[in-house]
Amino acid sequence: MAAIDVVCAGVLVADVFVPPLERLPHAGELLATDDFWIDSGGCAANTATSLVKLGVAAAVAGVVGTDIYGDFVEGDLGTKGVDTAALRRTDVAGTSKTVILPVRGEDRRYIHTFGANADFRVADIPRDLVAHAGVLCVGGYLILPAFDPVELAALFAFARQQGVRTILDVVVTEGGNEGGRHWAALTPVLPQVDFFLPNNDEAQQLTGETDPLRQAQRLRQAGCGTAIVTLGDRGAVVADERDVVCIDGYAVEVVDGSGAGDAFAAGLVAGLLEGLDTQARVRLASAIGASACSKLGCTTGVFSRAEANAFLEAV
């Protein structure tokens, strides 16, 4: 494999995780908790960090501010072994930040500022870095306002010409596909995508279909090589040129579900680089995604490759 196996491009964030709460505080109340967890995050950072834990050499391409949060994100990723040479600093906005508030028995809440991610452009992803990688993975598409769909399609086409496999993950906000806006942004890109990875809710907003099987089929018809609709601990639906299949997932005790989709992407990439077949690849991805839920933070609980092997043998 190349010196850099995977280029992970997309959203970068400084994350502040509050430990799981029994309830939210009342107005004016001070609620004491265990210590907060501060970490580098966002789609690109989470996938790259998870890949490094799996023994895969990964680089990030993205934008942070010229502030202490940008210093932290760049330094933290470097400490974790992620290549940050393609990370850009900008004065346009501060580094993106998120506060994550998990409440036991409820879905987690987010308080977020998008910040410097709004200044990230397709041109910020170095083509020479991509050309020497094995995989290009773009995360957070559809919430990157400076990303031009035609330019992204051209970058993916270039990558495929170099023998680099392309993976696209998206973030679809509630109502974001109003008037087919998100679908229009996907139309020129999907024919250049080898693997497209929306979750069930995102796929429903994009396609209008409620059945994951029909969602995957519709996305395949739009041109991507393989559509994988993730269903949390229920597994995933995979549609490729041969068939549409359901592959079971893994249930774990959930401490914090943040980053599970990014960890799934990392497991898929690792399986792809290892030459695993489709079912083995998706099972590995599901195991890595499940492991991300086991501890506070997006990547704290992510398995190493040896831990993933032991988990898969045990279940």
Q: Residue 283: helix, strand or coil by DSSP?
A: helix
Q: What residues contact 201, with CB distance under 8 A and at least 6 apart?
A: 172
Q: At residue 237, what are phi and psi to the nearest 5 degrees?
A: -110, 130
Residues 6 or more apart whose Cβ sits within 8 Å of residue 171: 11, 43, 140, 141, 142, 143, 202
List the CATH code of the domain at 6-22+35-314.
Answer: 3.40.1190.20
Contact 176, 205 (CB under 8 A): yes
For the chain, the structural domain boundaries read: 6-22+35-314
pLDDT score, position 108: 82
Helix (H) and strand (E) counts in the chain:
10, 13
CA separation for the pair 95, 188 (Å, rounded): 30
Q: What is the 3-state secondary structure (H, E, C) of 150-163?
A: HHHHHHHHHHHHCC
pLDDT of residue 252: 87
Q: What is the pLDDT of residue 3?
A: 84
Instruction: Decide: pTM greater than 0.85.
Output: yes
* pLDDT attached to residue 232: 86
pLDDT at residue number 106: 87
3 state SS of 224: coil
Per-residue pLDDT of the chain (315 residues; tens, 9 = 90+): 448 999 999 999 999 999 989 999 999 999 999 999 899 999 999 999 999 999 999 999 999 999 999 999 999 999 999 999 999 999 999 999 999 998 988 888 999 999 999 999 999 999 999 999 999 999 999 999 999 999 999 999 999 999 999 999 999 887 777 778 899 999 999 999 999 999 999 999 999 999 999 999 999 999 999 999 999 888 999 999 888 889 888 988 888 788 899 999 999 999 999 999 999 999 999 999 999 999 988 899 999 999 999 999 998
Task: Please give the pLDDT value at position 2.
Answer: 47
